[in-house]
Amino acid sequence: MRIRLVLEYDGTGYCGWQLQRPGEDSIQARLEAALAQLFGQPIRVTGAGRTDAGVHALGQVAAFDAPRQCEMAEVARALNALLPPDICVRQAHPAAPGFDPRRNAWLRVYEYRILNQPTRSAFDYRHSWHIREPLDLAAMAAAARQFIGEHDFAAFRTQGTPVRSTVRRIYLSQWSTEGSRLTYRIEGSSFLRHMVRTMVATLVQVGRHRLGLAEVQALLRSGTRGQAPAAAPAGGLFLVGVRYGLNSGRLYERTPC
């Protein structure tokens, strides 16, 4: 039977969702090790998004084929007993045969957190980008709105990754604030590698008045990497959730945000 898991993890100590080089420690490897222990045989998992080293998840979705019938609550409980404290299973559900968390995903939700205050924090340093100088939030919000719609995001990806198309559809791109905490939320069909972090770095340059709205527009139109700022630090980024359509048995089912 195919099972879909919703995972939460603190990516600080990991090389990312996927193993890049032998000897590294990935979320996927930890999950596969726990599943092998649980079922007594090697089990392969697929994830919805390949989060990079240091990137976190509140609602990563993964799927695997269980070699026997099992109770969902029992799978979650057993995996949580086997996984390290910084990775946990929030939900386990039966999935349609052949359910592919990556290909079947309709929408991915990411958040990027910034701590915008003069002094750093002893608690948030793994989970936010600390920026001391005040940022122009109105300008950042206006620039963020420019990303909504269908655009060629070639300027915002890591060079050299082979992809069929660099056109992506963005449904939501907005900032919210709570005291000195700024959160950027973006919802899109899918994302290119380093795309969200490069967009955040670009918006922060707008907030510092080092880039204007017209320059962001030009970046979006240019289609070439190199002019956009370097990606924002990994620690501020969270894969908040993934939504699926009818093909996985639920309409706009949403992982906890």
Please give the Cα distance from 151 to 170 (Å, whole number): 8
Residues that contact a copy of itself, how many (by CB under 8 A): 19
Choice between 17 and 147, CB closer to a copy of itself: 17
> Residue 56, interface with a copy of itself (CB under 8 A)?
yes
φ/ψ bin of 200: left (φ > 0), alpha (ψ from -120 to 50), beta (otherwise):
alpha
Among the listed residues 52, 65, 124, 152, the single catalytic one is 52
CB proximity list for 218: less than 8 A, separation 6 or greater = none
131 to 30, 39, 86, 91, 185: CA distances (angstroms):
33, 46, 26, 35, 18
Please give the Cα distance from 242 to 77 (Å, whole number): 22
Q: What are phi and psi of 234, to 5 degrees?
A: -60, -35
Torsion of CA 187, 193, 199, 204, to 10 degrees: 120
Minimum separation from the CB atom of position 62 to a copy of itself (A)? 14
> Residue 76, interface with a copy of itself (CB under 8 A)?
yes
> Residue 9, interface with a copy of itself (CB under 8 A)?
yes
Which position among 70, 72, 82, 88 is part of the footprint of a copy of itself (CB under 8 A)? 88
Footprint (CB under 8 A) of a copy of itself, residues 138-167: none
> Residue 110, interface with a copy of itself (CB under 8 A)?
no
State the DSSP H helix or E strand holding residue 206, giving kind and residue range, or none if neither.
helix 195-207
> Residue 86, interface with a copy of itself (CB under 8 A)?
yes
> Residue 125, interface with a copy of itself (CB under 8 A)?
yes
> Residue 30, interface with a copy of itself (CB under 8 A)?
no
**How big is the CA angle at 217 (ends 233 and 215), to the nearest 5 degrees?**
75
* Binding span for a copy of itself by CB under 8 A among 84-92, 96-104, 180-188, 200-208: 84-92
**Cβ neighbours, 10 Å, residue 230:** 9
> Residue 119, interface with a copy of itself (CB under 8 A)?
yes
Choice between 113 and 168, CB closer to a copy of itself: 113
Which position among 15, 63, 89, 211 is part of the footprint of a copy of itself (CB under 8 A)? 89
Active site residue 52: yes
- The catalytic residue positions are 52
Binding site for a copy of itself (CB under 8 A): 8-10, 56, 76, 80, 85-90, 119-123, 125, 127
